[in-house]
Structure 1
């Protein structure tokens, strides 16, 4: 067993990536077990418990102790693949290894981490795992960096590490090609103004959506109603003199027209979001919002932003640097769950 280190001696790319993933998880735990717990709960879609729980007056079969400190058993095994598919044979062998190492253990997870989109686990592997109380969790590197980016990290140094980890994952090509992806963003009161000015905004501490998607869609009334290609993403805030100040663009470029579009959407938001300009937000400017009808088939609203693979949905690959109009056409009339 090799220790996780910030300075790995590995030469094989897969081992280096695995080490960096484990370092990130360890740093989250060291900062707060709750951060690691939140990440594992999001990835595993389960009530994963990390660390002890403190209770009082817990009734038992024969008495009611005044206090209880309980730590549930937890074991998380991670298998990484730099390709888009897991190795079923290897996962079966991992299950046997887990049973040999931790016989009868509850709270055991095997996370199958792959590049590209989240893959599926063959039924025979899932059945074998269930027989031994192991939960196999398929996850993509995109899922991982997305969930890490959503954690309430307040420590500035750790936030920098999270961003560096995200940059590393993207630099290794482990997240799908963004030129074929749409991020659908929830809109409510701001929908008309987002549409009118071609700008969407979010707090700057949220993970940058342009890193995973070239196109942005406005989700409204159970459908993605309009799509545009992201041509600029920039953080901005109002200065002491009352003027909007812009950072260097994170992606794309700014000109006077795009800066004015941001000012205009901020001015329009004063009717329902007073003070928007006083806190730093990230503004996404699109080439234009083109109407489409990409509708949610199942009941209920979309719970948060979502990424969609346009190529897989439409069956045709968008050309390089395709405008938003082509993405809107490719999604028009299609459904999602």
Structure 2
């Protein structure tokens, strides 16, 4: 007999994902308004948000001091759910009209992955313009199903057995419907025979901007039938080097640091000098904090062609990944 689930499965429409998430939050509120308040404050990054009824004694009013009062702070969270990270700016802008005179107003976008940096910026600008025109104080918050699970768990105590069972089932539902994936443990191995020294020197790998790839968190650089280095991706930047020598950022997954800009400019020059490759335009750069040396050796006959994905948790037989340096050390002890 299959287990009874709190959250429905076998369907992936966005309204199912939204309904299950709201059901999860209502369950927490019913169990403990105080835990619900802590969860919301954590999720919304707003320590002043009150959820539930407030009881006050001898609180001064306008012209009098009543013996006591019961009040409730008004807040409204408008949720837009996608089963991918590509939100519609027009749709989200229309949602801004859903707010009234609430004290706390939040537009929440919920998806498996955070929207791209450029989309976030466009939404934030639209919200700011709407606030200025309508005297509202709406805050835009992009979040993911994984963040919902993590922050829900953070609000619980070890003895909250029933709620732990509920959130575990919600997480299982999210994994089942690929709202939460194991991409944080995925390593994409790419061939770098001609550029290995540059990759280590500048802690990045580059590809044509129009070449697609599936989500991954780690990058492995391969040469001579072995993965020679591994790094955790910090930023994926699409950029052009202008004739003036300035770097034009087309897109990025997070804020571009001065060091990342410097490394991209330098690697563009070295690619031209060392290999006569012009990568000044039409390329994306996968920036890692550091490539750590490893020797994750391929034992089968033929060398790697193209790229290959590995689940690092499976390779290392762990449930929680260690540091990138420790991953590199452990990969040196195994083969594929």
TM-score, with normalisation over the residues of structure 2?
0.51
Aligned position for 2:148: 144
Contact 2:7 2:169 in 1 (8 A): no
Helix, strand or coil at the partner of 2:143: strand
2:184 equivalent to 1:178: yes
Contact 2:85 2:114 in 1 (8 A): yes
Q: Within 2, Cα distance between the matches of 1:164 and 1:92?
A: 33
> How large is the RMSD of aligned CA atoms in angstroms?
4.0
Query: Unpaired runs of 5+ in structure 1?
Result: 1-5, 182-211, 215-226, 230-296, 298-310, 332-337
Cα pair distance change 1:312/1:35, threshold 3 Å: farther
Deviations 1:9-54 (A, max 9, x none): 9965211111110110110111011122111111111122111111
2:288 equivalent to 1:313: yes
Q: Within 1, Cα distance between the matches of 2:217 and 2:327?
A: 15
The 5 A counterparts of 1:205-216 are none
Aligned position for 1:109: 106
**Larger Rg over CA atoms:** 2
Query: Unpaired runs of 5+ in structure 2?
Result: 1-5, 188-215, 219-229, 233-258, 260-285, 292-306, 329-336
* Cα drift, residue 228 of structure 1: 12
Q: Within 1, Cα distance between the matches of 2:145 and 2:84?
A: 11
Cα pair distance change 1:89/1:57, threshold 3 Å: same
Cα pair distance change 1:37/1:115, threshold 3 Å: same
* Cα drift, residue 329 of structure 1: 9.2
2:165 equivalent to 1:160: yes
* Cα drift, residue 174 of structure 1: 2.0
Helix, strand or coil at the partner of 2:81: strand
Q: Within 2, Cα distance between the matches of 1:95 and 1:163?
A: 33
Q: Within 2, Cα distance between the matches of 1:315 and 1:64?
A: 62
Q: Within 2, Cα distance between the matches of 1:180 and 1:24?
A: 28
Aligned position for 1:63: 64
Deviations 1:106-133 (A, max 9, x none): 2222211121246535232231353322
Helix, strand or coil at the partner of 2:310: coil
Contact 2:93 2:127 in 1 (8 A): no
The 5 A counterparts of 1:121-270 are 121-122=121-122, 123-131=124-132, 132-153=136-157, 154-176=159-181, 177-180=183-186
